[in-house]
Chain A
Amino acid sequence: QKEVEQNSGPLSVPEGAIASLNCTYSDRGSQSFFWYRQYSGKSPELIMFIYSNGDKEDGRFTAQLNKASQYVSLLIRDSQPSDSATYLCAVKGFGNEKLTFGTGTRLTIIP
């Protein structure tokens, strides 16, 4: 049984600070790692994906992957109130295999 663990939060971060979201996964065979953002009442939208160990940056977002520790994180720099949402971590094996989602971390940016 593949598992993806996230702290459910809520995580409160002051506006302008760095928000750090963490995720661990159980299946060492996982190949692809994704972060989705879901606003209340909306469907998830893809923020970033990462396949290789290390950091991947896209604007204010940085995804970090450590396969040895089975750990993936998402950093949000210069947090804005519009970043307040639930962030879902998801992992996948090969090909078109379905994603395994964590339960999500609710992030609140405090103005």
Chain B
Amino acid sequence: GAVVSQHPSWVICKSGTSVKIECRSLDFQATTMFWYRQFPKQSLMLMATSNEGSKATYEQGVEKDKFLINHASLTLSTLTVTSAHPEDSSFYICSAISVQTQYFGPGTRLLVL
């Protein structure tokens, strides 16, 4: 199957700082990528759909000014958590479509102190 990578795999930051997470499709081009968040023992929650060369589409309740998404190339999408707070601590997972099948990256665990 297709390979999706994420960087970093985990990050610890102070409250009020911004954190950028990268998502790359390694062996295919992805015009569409998705960003999910998952809290412990809870379901995946789709945050936004990232489309190459255009603005991301955010799910209801997700603040677009807090979670900045940039999909500048066919292999890279970034999620920036701006002015992070402890309640933003979560497992962030990106996903990309290859041949109409969705593949997930390994996830980024964010801890905001």
Contacts and interface: CB of A to CB of B under 8 A. Distances in A.
A101 B44 CA distance: 8
Interface residues of B, number: 19
Interface string A81-111: 0000000101010011011010110000000
Contacts, number: 41
A34 interface: yes
Contacts of B19: none
A10 to B, nearest CB: 12
Contacts of A99: 102
A49 B101 contact: yes
Given A46-B1, A96-B32, A101 B43 contact: yes
B43 A43 contact: no
A42 B107 contact: yes
Interface of A: 32, 34, 36, 41-46, 49, 88, 90, 92, 95-96, 98-99, 101, 103-104
